């Protein structure tokens, strides 16, 4: 080999060294050289992205695949070899199919978008158990009621209350009951005919108003008090002394609400409806004429404002009677069922769609559309998921920064009156599986 050839090879090695040093420096700085077809010079050198994932529970296998493949980058190491929590670096920007799998849980799958030079965080993504419901009590399919402390479950048709902590059924009197409530402290079960103490099993029958039975039972945060309506009169019931006190007598009363020591009523006359506000002593304070005509009711949606629905038109009104300028803060069409996330965020549904509504910004967002009629809607305030039920199926909607994902967790012959136990992440429901009907418990986490 002569000197000229050695010099040429030397310079070639120098050029190769400089190129490799440049490429390694770019890689260390978070850049990748990409070749795709058709070739785009603008995409030849791209700054990479980072994906960070954590799940509850941990240990989910991560399957990640880029929609548009490149020639120089292998995706094999992202197909199930990483488990959560994980931080995956040096990912090319673009759209990926992401799937998380964990034995005993429903898989989570969604498209994600990684932007050049940025990180995407999917934190504490909830995975839901793939379990079968357990039968608690064999009975006919019926409406059920869960106490606010999640310790008692009422089966009104079967005349039973199930103590969920002790897993025993408590027998109720055979009287037909038209309205019922658990007291605010969940120590008493109140019906239109009697009060039943859940601790002592003491039974007290109402002696008054035998010709005009009470209706429209309501309980407030005050554990001692409950309220009911007889015709157009509203009564206060002291659960400790079993004494009754008439709060107010009206000419017309469609519905009432006790909130912050005020009495709110829905009254109608001369083909018009009014929202009225009274003091706890029955003194008139304020009034607002409502749109349309009759058939309004209060919704106890745990919000700082008054929530009223016009049932004929499925119209929800959010009202602030303290506002002189604009007492009706918002009006929502096609409202069937709903629940507030916070004071300003409402999750609600019509027959086939679920929306979120932000009261502060007066903005709507479609969460999902379904091919089946939505019968029930439940929201977990701490775990960021929605559970909803159709006639025969359960679904759970989970979301992160990349949008909403829906998982079908159960399908059976009939579902009625599901209740979400947010403390234990369980759903209680009355339903039918094959030939077996009764009350069931389904663990979701």
Q: What is the mean pLDDT of residues 154-181?
A: 90
Q: What is the extent of the structural domain holding 98?
A: 34-126
Cis ω on the peptide bond leading into residue 85 (within 30° of 0)? yes
Would 158 be classed as within a structural domain?
A: no
What angle is formed at CA 424 by the lines to CA 423 and CA 429, rounded to 5 degrees?
105
Nearest Cα to Cα of residue 382 among 421, 410, 338, 335 = 421
Would 255 be classed as within a structural domain?
A: no
In contact, 194 and 203? CB cutoff 8 Å? yes
In contact, 281 and 265? CB cutoff 8 Å? no
Q: What is the mean pLDDT of residues 16-28?
A: 57
CATH of the domain at 47: 2.60.40.10
Per-residue model confidence as pLDDT tens digits over 175-202: 888 888 998 889 999 888 888 899 888 8
Residue 333 has pLDDT above 50, yes or no: yes
Helix (H, G, I), strand (E, B) or coil at 423: coil
- A 10 A CB-CB count for 202 gives 10
In contact, 320 and 308? CB cutoff 8 Å? no
Residues paired with residue 399 on neighbouring β-strands, in sequence order = 404
Per-residue model confidence as pLDDT tens digits over 346-401: 999 999 999 989 998 999 989 999 989 999 999 887 777 889 999 999 999 986 55
- A 10 A CB-CB count for 197 gives 14
Could you give phi then psi for residue 103, rounded to 5 degrees? Answer: -60, 130
Distance CA 53, CA 61 (A): 11
Per-residue model confidence as pLDDT tens digits over 89-132: 878 787 888 899 999 999 998 888 888 777 888 888 889 999 99
DSSP 129: B
Would 214 be classed as within a structural domain?
A: no
pTM, rounded to two decimals = 0.83
Q: What is the mean pLDDT of residues 234-247?
A: 87
C-alpha of 124 from chain center: 17
**How far apart, in Å, are the Cα atoms of 324 and each of 127, 361, 426?**
47, 20, 44
Strands 345-349 and 363-369: unpaired
Residues paired with residue 259 on neighbouring β-strands, in sequence order = 262
Per-residue model confidence as pLDDT tens digits over 39-75: 454 455 567 788 888 888 999 999 988 776 654 444 4
Confidence category of residue 3, pLDDT binned at 50, 70, 90 = low
Would 324 be classed as within a structural domain?
A: no
In contact, 24 and 38? CB cutoff 8 Å? no
State the pLDDT at residue 349.
95
Q: Which secondary-structure segment (H or E) carries 54?
A: strand 49-56
Confidence category of residue 79, pLDDT binned at 50, 70, 90 = low
Nearest Cα to Cα of residue 261 among 222, 308, 234, 230 = 222
State the pLDDT at residue 23.
54
In contact, 393 and 382? CB cutoff 8 Å? no
Q: What is the mean pLDDT of residues 424-440?
A: 93
What angle is formed at CA 17 by the lines to CA 15 and CA 18, rounded to 5 degrees?
65
Would 51 be classed as within a structural domain?
A: yes
Distance CA 94, CA 113 (A): 6
Structural domain total, the chain: 1
Per-residue model confidence as pLDDT tens digits over 259-271: 888 999 999 888 8
Would 379 be classed as within a structural domain?
A: no
Would 361 be classed as within a structural domain?
A: no
State the pLDDT at residue 5.
65
Would 112 be classed as within a structural domain?
A: yes
**What average pLDDT does the structure give for the chain?**
84
Distance CA 313, CA 143 (A): 25
């Amino acid at each position: 080999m002569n000197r000229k050839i050695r010099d040429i090879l030397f310079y070639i090695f120098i050029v190769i060294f400089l190129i490799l040093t440049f490429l390694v420096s770019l890689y260390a700085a978070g850049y990748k050289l990409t070749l795709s077809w058709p070739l785009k010079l603008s995409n030849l050198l791209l700054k990479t992205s980072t994906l960070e994932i954590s799940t509850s529970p941990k240990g989910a296998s991560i399957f990640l695949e880029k929609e548009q493949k490149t020639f120089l980058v292998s995706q094999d190491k992202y197909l199930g070899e990483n488990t959560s929590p994980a931080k995956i670096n040096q990912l090319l920007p673009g759209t990926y199919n992401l799937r998380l799998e964990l034995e005993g849980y429903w898989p989570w799958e969604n498209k994600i978008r990684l932007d050049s030079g940025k990180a995407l965080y999917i934190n504490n993504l909830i995975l839901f158990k793939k379990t079968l419901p357990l039968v608690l009590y064999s009975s006919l399919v019926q409406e059920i009621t869960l106490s606010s402390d999640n310790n008692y479950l009422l089966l009104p048709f079967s005349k039973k209350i199930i103590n969920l902590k002790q897993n025993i059924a408590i027998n109720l009197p055979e009287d037909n009951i038209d309205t019922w409530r658990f007291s605010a402290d969940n120590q008493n079960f109140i019906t239109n005919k009697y009060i039943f103490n859940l601790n002592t099993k003491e039974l007290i029958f109402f002696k008054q108003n035998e010709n005009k039975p009470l209706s429209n039972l309501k309980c407030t945060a005050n554990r001692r008090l409950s309220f009911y309506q007889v015709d157009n009169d509203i009564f206060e019931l002291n659960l400790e002394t079993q004494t009754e006190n008439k709060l107010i007598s009206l000419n017309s009363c469609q519905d009432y609400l006790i909130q912050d020591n005020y009495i709110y009523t829905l009254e109608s006359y001369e083909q018009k409806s009014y929202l009225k506000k009274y003091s706890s002593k029955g003194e008139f304070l304020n009034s607002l004429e409502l749109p349309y005509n009759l058939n309004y009711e209060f919704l106890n949606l745990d919000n700082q404002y008054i929530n009223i629905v016009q049932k004929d038109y499925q119209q929800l009104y959010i009202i602030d009677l303290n506002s002189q300028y604009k007492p009706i803060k918002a009006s929502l069409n096609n409202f069937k069922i709903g629940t507030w996330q916070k004071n300003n965020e409402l999750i609600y549904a019509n027959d086939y769609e679920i929306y979120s509504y932000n009261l502060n910004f007066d903005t709507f967002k479609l969460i999902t559309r379904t091919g089946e009629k939505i019968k029930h809607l439940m929201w977990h305030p701490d775990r960021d998921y929605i559970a909803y039920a159709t006639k025969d199926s359960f679904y759970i909607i989970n979301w992160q920064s990349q949008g909403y994902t829906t998982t079908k967790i159960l399908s059976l012959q009939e579902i009625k009156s599901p209740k979400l136990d947010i403390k234990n992440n369980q759903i209680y429901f009355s339903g039918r599986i094959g030939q077996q009907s009764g009350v069931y418990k389904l663990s979701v986490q």
